[in-house]
Structure 1
Amino acid sequence: MKRLLVFIKKEFTHVLRDKKTLLILFGMPIVQVLIFGFVLSNEVKNTDLLVIDQAQDRASKEIISKVQASEYFDIASVTFDVQDVEASFKKGKSKAALILPKDFEKNLMTKHVAQVQILADASDPNHATTIENYLTAIIRDYTNSLNASMPYTIIPEVRMLYNPQLKGAPNFVPGVMALILMLVCVMMTAISIVREKEMGTMEVLLVSPFKPIMVIVSKVVPYFILSMLNIVSILLLSVYVLGVPIKGNVLLLFGESALFISTCLSLGIFISIKTQTQQVAMLISLMGMLLPTVLFSGFMFPIENMPFPLRMISNIVPAKWFYIIVKDIMIKGLGFAAVWKESLILMGITVFFLGISIKNFKIRLA
C-alpha cells in the first residue's frame, strides 16, 4: 500500500510539473465550456433588420419601436423604398426586412385588419425560420396590446429569398466545401512535410540541386490539384444529386476556391515548419482548424448571435470568408463586386502565412 501511494505521489508530481498536461486538463474544458456555451445557440440575437416604413404613421412607428426594443434585432436602417431590400441583402447589410405598407394604421383602425410583409434571407433556412418566428411573435404581441379595446388583426406575409423551399442543402454545401478543403489541405500538407523530417529525408532533399522553396512547392502542388478535383466532385453532387444550382459564375467560383485552397496550403506549410512530428501536426491541424471552422465560419451557428469578442475571433478564421463567398456566388448569384473584400482578406491571410513560413524556413536552414 505504501509503495502504491509513493507511485501515485510520483505521478501527481509528474503531472503538476508538466504545464502542457495541466493546460489540457484544466484549460481546455474551461475554454470549451465558455465557447460552446456562447456559440451553441439557436436564438436570434443582434440580427440586422431593414425596415421599409411606407406608412410612417403612429402604428408603424410603434411596431418599429417594439422591434428595436427587443434584443433580437438591430435595425440597420429605416427607409421608404422597397428597392432597397434587394441591395441590402446582396451587400450583406441585413438578414431580413420588415415592410409596413401605406395606410397601415388606417386599414387597422377602419377595417380592423392590416398586412405586413416579412422578407428573410433563406440561404440559411434555419436562421430564416427563426427570424420569421421572432418577428411574427413581436407583431402578435403588438396586436394583443391593441385588442384590449377592439379586435384587431395584423397578418404577416412571409417570403423567403434565395431558398423559398427552405432546403438545407444551400446552406450545407458551402459549409462542407469550406470544412473539407480546410481539413484536407491543411492536415495533409502539414503531415506530408513533417513526415520527411521524421524519416530524415528532408535533409537529403534540401541538399539536392533543388532550391528549398521548390521542395515545398513540389509537396504542395499535388494537394492543390486533388483539392480542385474535390471542388468539382462536390459541385457535381450538389447540382445533380442535391438539386442545388450554381446561380453565379462557375469560373469565378473555381477561382475563389483556388484562392481558399492556397490559403489552406499556406497554413499547412506554416504548421509543418513549426512542428517536428506527424502526431503533433495532425493534432494542431484537427484542433486548430476543425473546431474554428465548425464554430466560427457561420456554417453551423450564426455569428451575429455570438458575443462581440467571439465575433472578432471569427474574423481570423479563413473558412468564414470562403463560406460567405460561396453563398454569394453559388446561392445568390452575385458577382465579384460582392465578394472582393472577402477575397482580399483571404489573399492577405495567404501572403501573411507564406511570408512567415518562408522566413522561418530560411532560419532553419541557417
Structure 2
Amino acid sequence: MKIFFAFVKKEFWHVLRDTRSLIILLGLPVMMMLLFGFALSSEVKNSNIAILDFSKDAATKKLIDRLDQSQYFSVRHILTDEKQIEQAFKKGEVRMAVIFPQNFESGLMHNKKAQVRLIGDASDPNTSNIVINYASAIIRDYQNEVFGLQKMPYQISVETRMLYNPQLKSSYNFVPGVMTLILMLLGAMMTSVSIVKEKEMGTMEILLVSPMKPLMVIFSKAVPYLVLCFVDVVLILLMAVFVLDMPIAGSLVLLLAESLLFILTTLSLGLLVSTIVDSQQVAMFISLVGFLMPALIFSGFMFPIENMPKPMQVMSNIVPTKWYYSIVRAIMVKGLRFEYVYKQTLILVVMTVVFLGASIKKFNVRLG
C-alpha cells in the first residue's frame, strides 16, 4: 500500500503542477454556476412588449401600468394600427403585443366581461408561452381586484400550489443539472486523457514495470480526479446555498455519498475509454461528443424525457446522468430519503461495476 500511496502522491503533484488542468477542474464549476445562475436563467424578465389600445380608458391605462411596472415586462411601443404589430415582431423589437378593444372599461363594468388579445412571438415557443402566462396572471389579478367581492353564479374556482419550489426559481433545476454535467465531463474526460497521455509519451511502459501491479497503477491515476471531482461537488453546493440562495432540503450526507458513487461511475467510464483509444485527441472527442451530448439530451436537465419518442426514452436508461440527476433533484429539492432513490442508486452501482469490469478485462487483454 505504501507504493500505491506513493503513486497517488505523485499523480497529485502532476495535477497540481498542471495549471490548465486545475483551471478546468476548479474553474469550470464556478463559471458554469455563475452563467446558469445569472446569465442563462430560464426565467423570462424585462421582455419588451407593444401596446395597441383602442379604448384608452382608465382600466386599460391601469393594466398597461401594471404590465410596465412588473419585473417581467417593459412597454417598448405604443401602437396605433394592427399592421404595426407584425413589423415590430419582424424587427425583433418585442416579444408580445397586447391589444385592448374599444369600450374596454364599459364592457368590463356593464357586461362583466372584456377581451384582451395577447399575441406572442412563437418562433421561440417556450419563451412565448411563459411571457403570455405572465401577462395572463397580471390581468387575472386585476380582474380579481375589480370583481373580487362579487359572486358569479356557477363559478369554478381553481387554486394552484407549487410544491418544493413555490417561488419557481430556475436554480432548483439547473444546480442538479450543472452538477451532473460537470462530474460526467470532468470525471470521464480528465481520467481518460491523463492515462492516454502516458501512452503517447511512452511513459506507461515504465509505470507498468514498477513493483506495483499494472491495474493499481491505473487506479492510482484516477484517485486525484476522484478527490478533485468531490471538491467540485462541495464547491457547487456552497455556491448553491450561499450565492444562489438554494437550500438543501434533504440529507447532505446522502447527497455527498450519491455524488461520490456517480464520480466512481464516471471515472470507471474514463478508465474504459483509456483502454480503448491511444491518443488524447480521440479521448477528448469521445468525452465531449460521446459523453457530453447524451448527458445534455438524456439527463432530463434540458429536455423532458417524457416528451421524447419511445426509442429515445429507452436509450436514456443507459446514460448514467439520467439516474444521478434524478437522485440529486430528489434529495436536494424534494428532501427525499434513501428509500426513494435506492433504485437509481442500484443502477449506478451496476453501471460502475460493468464499466470497471470491462476496463479491467480490456486492460488485461492489452497487456497480453
Give the TM-score, by structure 1 length: 0.59
Q: Match for residue 242 of structure 1?
A: 244
Mark the structure with the bigger radius of gyration.
2
Aligned pairs for 1:1-366 within 5 A = 152-366=154-368
Shift of 1:315: 0.6
User: For 1:153 and 1:171, how far apart are their aligned partners in 2?
Assistant: 36
User: For 1:216 and 1:299, how far apart are their aligned partners in 2?
Assistant: 32
* Aligned partner of residue 362 in structure 1, secondary structure: helix
State the Cα deviation string for residues 276-335 of structure 1 (Å, max 9, x = none).
000000000110111011111000011101110000011111011000000111110111
Q: Match for residue 83 of structure 1?
A: none
User: For 1:271 and 1:362, how far apart are their aligned partners in 2?
Assistant: 14
State the Cα deviation string for residues 130-156 of structure 1 (Å, max 9, x = none).
8xx7xx9xxxxxxxxxxxxx9854232
Give the TM-score, by structure 2 length: 0.59
Alignment identity in percent?
61
Amino acid in the other structure paired with 2:189: M
Shift of 1:157: 1.2
User: For 1:197 and 1:156, how far apart are their aligned partners in 2?
Assistant: 65
* Aligned partner of residue 158 in structure 1, secondary structure: coil
Unaligned residue ranges in structure 2 (runs of 5+): 1-41, 43-125, 137-151
Shift of 1:210: 1.2
Instruction: Give the alignment's Cα RMSD to 1 decimal.
Output: 2.1
Aligned residues: 224
Shift of 1:354: 0.4
State the Cα deviation string for residues 163-211 of structure 1 (Å, max 9, x = none).
0000000101000000000011100000000000000111111111110
User: For 2:315 and 2:366, how far apart are their aligned partners in 1?
Assistant: 30
User: For 1:243 and 1:320, how far apart are their aligned partners in 2?
Assistant: 25
